[in-house]
Amino acid sequence: MGLRFDHLSLSLRGRPVLRDVSGAIAPGGITVILGANGAGKSTLLSCLAALRKPDAGTVTLDGRTLDSVPAQERARKIGLLPQQADIHWDINVRALVALGRLPHHGRWRRSSEDEIAIEEAMAQTDCARFADRKALRLSGGEQARVLLARILAGRPEWILADEPIASLDPAHQMDALACFRAAAQAGAGVALVLHDLTQAARIADHLIIMKEGRIIASGPVADVLTPEILQAAYGVRIYIGHDETGASIIAPVAKLS
């Protein structure tokens, strides 16, 4: 049944941000949401995570309306990595990653399963080597990996991540995307907001492209990542080529007047 959204509309401070958008995040795959700044991508993720309530329309989780799912159950099922994720406590990395297990056991009890999930998440995100360092003393890219590890430690059924690779170097971008792919292969439904079109083409199973609060295209990569659709979404002329493996390379060429 999946995580579905039907006819969502939402205005913020009198400005329409979502305009009658519908779609689904399928389990076992990666959906990438693309669009220019202000297209409504982050707002859509917020609605899917129950952080914002739409003015109209519904979000359903496995056939139940999202607002009818108890908060702790939502926290176990849905992991959200927001765009402006901040670390507020000067605790060590292992303790911060362990917070991802709170929906499963509460504050005081931690099982062997919890410990395994924490260690696996740190290993997947290359955080284990500084597990005992204070999180606030890490670089921005290191902090981004720790926050991703916290989400992965919770082993949610649905992972929603807003620009999760924006502050990472190329090698760690590839590592992070590999983590999302592994989660999808294990059965999770993953939704990523990305700005890197080449990475989107390589990681996505399904694409949603938004413009001015609407979905202007949705479907498989080959059907959606066309010069015409990307030009309409971003207002730039787009080059699409391929590397020696046949994987797509997508780059803006010129801004349209």
Beta bridge partners of 190: 30, 159
- The arithmetic mean of pLDDT across residues 143-149, rounded, is 91
Higher pLDDT, 241 or 192: 192
Q: pLDDT (tens digit, 9 = 90+) per residue, 82-121? A: 987 678 888 999 999 999 998 887 556 777 888 999 999 9
User: How does residue 8 score in pLDDT terms, banded at 50, 70 and 90?
Assistant: very high
User: How does residue 161 score in pLDDT terms, banded at 50, 70 and 90?
Assistant: very high
Mean pLDDT of the chain: 92
The model's pTM is 0.92
The neighbour count for residue 227, using CB atoms within 10 Å, is 13
Report whether 150 contacts 97 (CB < 8 A): yes
Half-sphere exposure of 148 (CA within 13 A, CB side): 32
Residue 2 pLDDT: 85
User: How does residue 194 score in pLDDT terms, banded at 50, 70 and 90?
Assistant: very high
Per-residue CA distances from 142 to 79, 137, 212 (Å): 19, 9, 33
- The arithmetic mean of pLDDT across residues 224-232, rounded, is 93
- Say yes or no to pLDDT of 70 above 80: yes
Cα–Cα dist 75/72, whole Å: 5
